[in-house]
């Protein structure tokens, strides 16, 4: 199962907190797939988050997030800036490939944005997160700014669009798309049914 997420996305925060446990518990192989919603929204004619463009939708989302984080026992503070620019954080996530598992970094970036109201576009904020995970912040942020990583994020965003992804979080299992934090369990169930049909889990690594 691929987990497609954007760091600016509120509901992706909830999914990021749950996805690794849900996958581990069920034996479903998980791949982290950061991408950018900006280009996808722009293709739909939006130059901002739909939660800012459509007031009632936005008001609902913030209240819903309060309820859901309370239910899930997750810390939440409404960020002063929304949406925050997740470009550098997405690149830093890709830079981790081959160095460290992505999950802990992904979760810490979301907590910075939605629990601590920190500016995740600030390299110092990301460096502190990387150091807190025992990683070489300077080398990884340098790698995050390299052409191969930039290209990889562009390609991944193009792949998201090509797969019909129009929002975050999304989950894909083969060609099947599931949109929204609410559909995490449905995506897991689909992956399990597919694995059953093809003779069991395939043992993909948790990161790529």
Instruction: Please list the active-site residues.
Output: 9
Which residues is 3 bridged to in the sheet?
A: 32, 171
Residue of 18, 29, 54, 104 that binds its own copies (CB under 8 A): 54
- Decide: is 60 part of the binding site for its own copies (CB under 8 A): yes
Judged by beta carbon, residue 59 or residue 99, the one nearer its own copies is: 59
Whole-angstrom CA distances from 206 to 27, 58, 102, 197, 203 are 11, 33, 9, 21, 9
- The reply to whether 4 sits near its own copies by the rule CB under 8 A is no
Q: Using the rule CB under 8 A, is 142 a contact of its own copies?
A: no
Asked if residue 164 binds its own copies (CB under 8 A), the reply is yes
Task: Quote the tokens at residue 91.
Answer: 């690149």
Note whether 78 binds its own copies by CB under 8 A.
no
3-class SS letters over 42-100: HHCCCCCCHHHHCHHHHHHHHHHHHHHHHHHCCCCCCCCCCCCCCHHHHHHHHHCCCCC
Per CB under 8 A, the list member of 18, 150, 183, 194 interacting with its own copies is 183
Which residue is listed with tokens 């990387």? 130
Interaction site with its own copies (CB under 8 A): 44, 54, 56-57, 59-60, 63-64, 67, 161, 164-167, 176-180, 182-183, 186
């Amino acid at each position: 199962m691929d987990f497609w997420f954007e760091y600016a996305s509120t509901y992706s925060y909830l999914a990021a907190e749950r996805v690794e446990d849900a996958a581990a518990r069920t034996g479903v192989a998980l791949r982290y797939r950061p991408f950018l919603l900006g280009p996808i929204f722009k293709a739909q004619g939006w130059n901002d988050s739909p939660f800012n463009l459509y007031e009632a939708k936005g008001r609902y989302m913030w209240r819903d997030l309060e309820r859901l984080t309370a239910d899930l026992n997750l810390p939440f503070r409404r960020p002063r800036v929304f949406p925050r620019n997740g470009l550098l954080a997405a690149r830093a996530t890709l830079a981790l490939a081959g160095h460290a598992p992505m999950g802990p970094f992904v979760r810490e970036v979301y907590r910075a944005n939605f629990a601590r109201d920190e500016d995740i576009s600030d390299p110092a904020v990301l460096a502190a997160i990387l150091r807190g995970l025992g990683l070489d912040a300077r080398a990884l942020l340098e790698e995050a700014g390299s052409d191969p990583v930039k290209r990889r994020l562009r390609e991944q965003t193009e792949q998201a669009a090509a797969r019909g992804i129009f929002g975050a979080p999304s989950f894909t299992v083969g060609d099947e798309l599931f949109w929204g934090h609410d559909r995490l369990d449905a995506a897991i169930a689909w992956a399990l049914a597919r694995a059953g049909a093809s003779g069991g889990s395939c043992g993909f690594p948790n990161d790529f």
